[in-house]
Structure 1
């Protein structure tokens, strides 16, 4: 099978595509013939040795895939050969096949194709866990989403609307904000023009946002915290800006607000039943047309570097997906 390999830590250009042996299937494992693989910001970190999880070299990046079951190991009853499925792999997804534990494989809803399915779990799983379990977002509250045109940000915009919130989308350009508007944002803030804090205060009658979803970090994080409402919740999703902010501790004190960490990967491991319930609800929302995943571009497997650079350049809106050409 073909696979994109990280043989030494470095930029996307250091990746190579080679023929490698297909891994064997063990007990309670599933072999998936990959049709598509979602590309995510952690993929850009893991190949540089900057992610909190580091597989042994060489490895293939790629943490979420969609495809068909080619083989099942002893003890697997949840799926069968030929089933369309999606899976959270951690790594190994930039390849034509992957072997993964059956407990990490989900039957793919009939409402999704493989490209949609490959880009769904990470962004919607993260954003729904953040808004539901970590923020307890309630109908009628105001949700401010930073990086609102990116993968997780756009998912948060859609989910916020589906949960009954008023959504303020913030991004770095009018073109990106237009994408957020098309996916349900009520108000738009271009934070490359003027003060984010002042604009959000103006839109909320001086109160500020009840929940702030921040996958960006950097200076935008502190600016957002300065426009949070009393008893507000700031969700720390990630640091796409490349800078981990140092938050002045007096800011949450003055607003009686909370700074809440969101680590969806460990939530999946520690609370698998809650995660399974989340996905049943997400699939239902997708079937009802409330969630409309936005794929910016697809790339063939041997253009993985171009796909990753689309994220690093912050050019992409929504999801980027690699395809293997499997029919």
Structure 2
């Protein structure tokens, strides 16, 4: 089978032929149809992601495909089932074996492309806004990086949860994508002052930040009393430093969110969230935004789209039927 194989953090992964893996205890073997790319893939290339597997490994964190073999001890799945899996690795290949406990069956109306774009982006935003920040109807939600893979889903879910959504991104095209996802107000981070714009809008009750850096600082200063700030990631490359006395004065909360971390200590948070998200998708209330679909031999080009911020929403690698 063809697979994107990483053997060193000092050199790029290579598309190579590898033996087809056999499912072990508790695993499903999938014929992979699509794999979603994530910012975390860029960190894995350098070994700086918190859950980077030991070398060597096949890249690709979230996949969708068809069950073609079932390992010992697995129940509830049959050959031919269409599923999505957050495996953390192994997705950029024609075949992969994954923990059956992480697999979810796809609704009939969900395509493999949508499924590969779904779990991490929507899961991150839903768990962050619902489980962590307890976003309430009528509150003002400020989403930074609002045209990115997780940012667009935060706009969409925030609006679905009844919030007034302010989307912050760079450039008219990206802001248009956020507007189409449901944003009520738009801020161009390349030309407008985030703090000043939010002041005119009455401040932010919840801030969703996958960016960090200067945007975090400006957004932080726009918080209303008892505001909640969700730290999702640091796409800017700069981890912000928080002055604790500012938290005290406004009674603010800073909430970290690492979606995959719940697998280790509270997996029901994720499974319950995905059940809700799949139901919303089946009802036509969620619409995954995929700006690029590329073949497996262009997977590195897809990662470059993420690195250069030339994509909106998700980039998906199409692998099989």
Normalised to the residue count of structure 1, the TM-score between the two structures is: 0.96
Aligned with residue 197 of structure 2, among 196, 199, 208: 199
In the alignment, which residue of structure 2 is the partner of 1:143? 141
Q: Is 37-46 or 17-26 further displaced after alignment? A: 17-26
Are the equivalent residues in 1 in contact too, given 2:127–2:269 (CA < 8 A)?
no
SS at match of 1:151: coil
1:110 is the counterpart of 2:108 = yes
Are the equivalent residues in 2 in contact too, given 1:211–1:232 (CA < 8 A)?
yes
1:227 is the counterpart of 2:225 = no
Q: Is 266-275 or 190-199 further displaced after alignment? A: 266-275
Deviation at 1:23, TM superposition (A): 1.4
Task: Please give the residue correspondences for 1:1-327 in structure 2 after superposition, counting only pairs within 5 Å.
Answer: 1-10=1-10, 14-204=12-202, 208-324=203-319, 326-327=320-321
Are the equivalent residues in 1 in contact too, given 2:26–2:100 (CA < 8 A)?
yes
Normalised to the residue count of structure 2, the TM-score between the two structures is: 0.98
Unpaired runs of at least 5, structure 2: none
Are the equivalent residues in 2 in contact too, given 1:144–1:209 (CA < 8 A)?
yes
CA distance in 2, matches of 1:254, 1:60: 48
Deviation at 1:268, TM superposition (A): 2.8
Deviation at 1:10, TM superposition (A): 4.0
Deviation at 1:137, TM superposition (A): 0.4
Are the equivalent residues in 2 in contact too, given 1:225–1:251 (CA < 8 A)?
no
SS at match of 1:45: helix
CA distance in 2, matches of 1:77, 1:277: 20
Deviation at 1:31, TM superposition (A): 0.3
Structural RMSD (CA): 1.0
CA distance in 1, matches of 2:217, 2:249: 14
Deviation at 1:254, TM superposition (A): 2.0
Instruction: Kindly provide the CA deviation profile for residues 79-136 of structure 1, in whole angstroms up to 9, marking residues without a partner as x.
Output: 1110000000101111111111110111011121001100100000111000011100
CA distance in 1, matches of 2:23, 2:255: 39
CA distance in 2, matches of 1:246, 1:79: 47
Deviation at 1:3, TM superposition (A): 0.2
CA distance in 2, matches of 1:43, 1:167: 28
Are the equivalent residues in 2 in contact too, given 1:78–1:102 (CA < 8 A)?
no
Unpaired runs of at least 5, structure 1: none
